[in-house]
């Protein structure tokens, strides 16, 4: 079995017209040195950049005006000599040369500004046949010249982008779409995207049907598999934690990617913030953590760098990359081909409109911080692979989904609903009778969550919930884990009390968080995952964890006392018959505009309990990659061990 290399560098090279002597100080020896010091096994190299210049002798794309050598060819020769996979980058949505020489190719947005003023790249519209033919001709040329020595084609800036340029207006009218209707414009942009990916994929396949093609869109959608599978082989998940994505984004993106059956790599950067920095460096501990996180999520790694226009490799950058990749290289044998073990499926609530405020975001944080083993699924997934499915906040059911979830429950599954999830698309009726009725939205702007037990943290209290919830009624046998108390009134100029929120009315009682009599369906009256995304209050997380634990009971595979900032996953390497538990811990800190990691704090004596399938007794448990044997006990179907110490990233192999 051949696996995708796990240690990739994405070597940005966007070089403006006025940069002198481009590539003149490139040296094969320096490149070899960078690849060696950086412990790099794969690299993305530039055929054409955002400025629209080619970095090889092209017959159709103008080479950079101050470059004389075949930079790409020389780089590829070094990769071939060193056995490093190379994929070739072609900028699609940005091509500044075309934006200037063919203004008709520029993307046009209603109310948008895409004039040539401003020191930035200008979005092109991929619906212009002239530009698409130009792009495909370059792809064909790269395949002809270098197809025998590259491992893939990578196109960039190709998200479906709404556009009302003359070409788009023409094709929208021809398709019966209304260019004045934003929904029609989005639908058309999606069709243009397919036209683009089909054209590029056909061009590549004409010369080599096995050549992988990846179209980078920044963030994979979770409701459009045709979009995702326009990428013909592996997937790259762009997620620079300090570049606006944050440290929780990659685990979310990976949790969905894991169900797609494709190898994937997490793409971060060496930059302090994001792409485009010359001289921006993050602390080595940050990169060590980020690459460890990629492995833990079941993926490989890609680190973004930017080559100096003269073609010089920056030794400090490759020392930084090497500090992370030397560790990855040692850990790789316990990572190749590993599949994540998941108890819980989070059913995605993603839509194009809510992508930045999706309930998945808060749910992912709770599952991650709560140390649950989970994947994110869509309706194409097999529900029976999971012990519990969470439908967060906004997932209403159509007839088909309702029938599938009823069947899943009948087969022994468990379900957690929040907000308006589990109601039908055309009414507030639940998909099944589990003793709970929805009476619509509770009209109180703020309400209070009152646990009926001593909740971890602050025990029994009336906890503020910041947005409206649902009004529930329950039948006999339904267990109430938390009540909902209303506030006295909604604030307005007519009456208000104190600064922001009306106090709770202790005499009001509604069901807030309930479990069905058979303990298989949990229902939370609040949009609790959006609450946690927006507010991050401890009680919002804890009530979800308590509901999940009540539903799962002893079906929970992994328990650990790793702190809330810690991350753990459990992967299985089938060929090696072993489980690998990953443990990560770092403290992120907002400093200025970046969330940084500097400190590598050792974590000691982390207790772990695993319930492996069929009560498997391991042959050996050891800390890897050092292969230090770890004492363990087995009783009551549980494997228990204590990780004595790890710093940033620890791994335990359980051989069965």
Please count the other Cβ atoms lying within 10 Å of the Cβ belonging to residue 330. Answer: 14
Q: Which is nearer to Zn ion, 123 or 588 (CB)?
A: 123
Smaller CB separation from Zn ion, 125 or 344: 125
Q: What is the DSSP string of 133-160?
A: HHHHHHHHHHHHHHGGG-SEEEEES-S-
Residue with smaller CB distance to Zn ion, 138 or 171: 171
List the interface residues with Zn ion, window 540-569 (CB under 5 A).
Answer: none
What tokens does 110 get?
Answer: 């209603």
Residues 530, 466 contacting (CB under 8 angstroms): no
Q: Site mask, Zn ion, residues 408-427, x = CB under 5 A?
A: --------------------
Residue of 15, 44, 91, 127 interacting with Zn ion (CB under 5 A): 127
- Judged by CB, which is closer to Zn ion: 165, or 513? 165
Report, in Å, the least distance between residue 130 CB and Zn ion. Answer: 12
Q: Of all helices (H) and strands (E), which one includes residue 301?
A: strand 300-306
d(CA 185, CA 191): 10
Token readout for 630 is 């770890």
Ranges assigned E (strand) in 130-287? 152-156, 213-215, 235-238, 264-269
Rounded to a whole number of angstroms, the minimum distance from the CB of residue 110 to Zn ion is 12
Q: Quick one: 125 or 230, whose CB is closer to Zn ion?
A: 125
Nearer residue to Zn ion within complex by CB, 168 or 361: 168
CB 648 within 8 A of CB 291: no
Contact 168, 177 (CB under 8 A): no
Helix (H, G, I), strand (E, B) or coil at 648: coil
Nearer to Zn ion, 124 or 142 (CB): 124
Site string for Zn ion, 147-186 (x = CB under 5 A): ----------------x-x--x------------------
Binding residues with Zn ion: total (CB under 5 A): 5
CA dist., res. 537 & res. 581, Å (int): 29
Q: How far is the CB of 105 from Zn ion (least distance, A)?
A: 9
Shortest CB 127 distance to Zn ion, Å: 4
The residue among 192 and 643 lying less far from Zn ion, judged by its C-beta, is 192
- 216-239: buried (b, 16+ CB within 10 Å) or exposed (e) per residue? bbebbbbebeebbebbbebbbbbb
Q: Hey, what are 457's tokens?
A: 């943290």
Nearer to Zn ion, 165 or 296 (CB): 165
436 within 8 A of 473, measured Cβ to Cβ: yes
Coil, helix or strand at residue 371: coil
- Nearer of residues 168 and 338 to Zn ion, judged by Cβ: 168
Q: Both tokens of residue 344?
A: 């819980």
Rounded Cα distance, 362 and 329, in Å: 33
Nearer to Zn ion, 165 or 524 (CB): 165
The DSSP symbol for 602 reads: E
Q: Checking DSSP bridges between strand 620-624 and strand 628-629, what pairing results, if any?
A: antiparallel
- In the complex, the smallest distance separating the C-beta of residue 196 from Zn ion, rounded to whole angstroms, is 11
Report 86-125 residues binding Zn ion (CB under 5 A): 125
Alpha-carbon torsion (558, 559, 561, 563), positive or negative: positive
Q: Which among 399, 460, 459 has a CA at the least distance from the CA of 426?
A: 399
- Angle CA 600–605–611, to nearest 5: 115
What is the CA 363 to chain-centroid distance, rounded? 13
For residue 324, give the nearest of 298, 296, 301 by alpha carbon.
301
* Minimum separation from the CB atom of position 155 to Zn ion (A): 17
Nearest approach in angstroms of CB 125 to Zn ion is 3
CB 150 → Zn ion: shortest distance, Å? 30
Shortest distance, position 52 Cβ to Zn ion, whole Å = 18
Q: How far is the CB of 199 from Zn ion (least distance, A)?
A: 15
Closest distance to Zn ion from the beta carbon of 164 (Å): 7
- Interface residues with Zn ion (CB under 5 A) are 125, 127, 163, 165, 168
């Amino acid at each position: 079995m051949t696996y995708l290399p796990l240690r990739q560098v994405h070597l940005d090279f966007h070089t403006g017209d006025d940069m002198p002597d481009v590539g003149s100080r490139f040296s094969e020896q320096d490149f070899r040195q960078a690849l060696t010091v950086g412990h790099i096994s794969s690299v993305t190299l530039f055929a054409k950049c955002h400025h629209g210049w080619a970095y090889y002798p092209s017959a159709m794309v103008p080479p950079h005006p101050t470059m004389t050598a075949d930079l790409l060819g020389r780089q590829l020769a070094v990769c071939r000599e060193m056995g490093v996979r190379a994929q070739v980058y072609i900028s699609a949505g940005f091509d500044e040369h075309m934006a200037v020489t063919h203004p008709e190719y520029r993307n046009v947005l209603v109310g948008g500004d895409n004039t040539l003023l401003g020191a930035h790249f200008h979005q092109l519209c991929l619906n212009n046949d002239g530009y698409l033919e130009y792009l495909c001709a370059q792809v064909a040329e790269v395949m002809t010249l270098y197809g025998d020595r590259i491992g893939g084609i990578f196109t960039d800036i190709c998200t479906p982008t709404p556009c009302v340029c003359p070409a788009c207006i023409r094709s929208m009218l021809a398709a019966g779409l209304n260019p004045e209707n934003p929904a029609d414009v989005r639908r058309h942009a999606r069709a243009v995207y397919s036209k683009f990916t089909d054209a590029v994929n056909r061009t590549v396949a004409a010369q080599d049907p096995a050549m992988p093609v990846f179209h980078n869109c920044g963030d994979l959608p979770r409701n459009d598999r045709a979009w995702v599978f326009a990428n013909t082989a592996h997937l790259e998940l762009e997620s620079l934690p300090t570049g606006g994505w944050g440290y929780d984004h990659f685990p979310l993106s990976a949790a969905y990617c894991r169900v797609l059956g494709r190898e994937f790599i997490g793409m971060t950067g060496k930059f302090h913030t994001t792409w485009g920095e010359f001289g921006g460096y993050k602390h080595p501990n940050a990169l060590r953590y980020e690459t460890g996180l990629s492995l833990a999520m079941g993926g490989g790694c890609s680190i973004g760098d930017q080559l100096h226009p003269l073609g010089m490799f920056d030794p400090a950058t490759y020392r930084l990359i090497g500090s992370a990749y030397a560790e990855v290289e040692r850990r790789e044998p316990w990572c190749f081909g590993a599949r994540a073990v998941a108890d819980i499926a989070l059913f995605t609530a993603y839509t194009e409109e809510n992508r930045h405020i999706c309930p998945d975001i808060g749910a992912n944080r709770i599952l991650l911080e709560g140390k649950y083993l989970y994947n994110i699924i869509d309706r194409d997934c097999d529900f029976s692979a999971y012990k519990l499915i969470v439908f967060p906040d906004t997932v209403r059911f159509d007839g088909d989904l309702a029938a599938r979830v009823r069947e899943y429950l009948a087969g022994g599954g468990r379900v957690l609903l929040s907000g308006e999830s589990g109601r039908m698309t055309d009414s507030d009726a639940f998909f099944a009778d589990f003793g709970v009725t929805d009476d619509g939205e509770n009209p109180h702007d703020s309400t209070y969550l009152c646990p009926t037990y001593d909740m971890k943290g602050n025990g029994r209290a009336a906890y503020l919930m910041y947005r409206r919830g649902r009004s529930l009624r329950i039948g006999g046998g339904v267990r109430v884990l938390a009540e909902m108390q209303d506030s006295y009134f909604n604030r307005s100029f007519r009456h208000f009390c104190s600064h922001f929120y009306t106090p709770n009315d202790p005499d009001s009682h509604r069901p807030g968080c309930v479990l069905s009599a058979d303990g298989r369906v949990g229902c939370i009256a609040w949009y609790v995952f959006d609450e946690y995304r927006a507010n991050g209050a401890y009680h919002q997380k804890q009530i979800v964890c308590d509901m999940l634990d009540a539903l799962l009971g002893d079906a929970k595979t992994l328990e650990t006392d790793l702190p809330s900032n810690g991350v753990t996953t459990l992967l299985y390497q089938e060929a090696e018959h072993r489980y690998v538990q990953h443990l990560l811990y770092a403290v992120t800190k907002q400093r200025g505009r970046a969330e940084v990691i500097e400190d590598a704090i050792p974590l000691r004596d982390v207790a772990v309990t695993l319930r492996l399938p069929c009560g498997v007794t391991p042959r050996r448990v050891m800390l890897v990659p050092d292969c230090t044997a770890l004492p363990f006990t087995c009783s009551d179907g549980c494997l228990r061990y204590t990780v004595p110490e790890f710093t940033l990233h620890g791994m335990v192999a359980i051989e069965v």
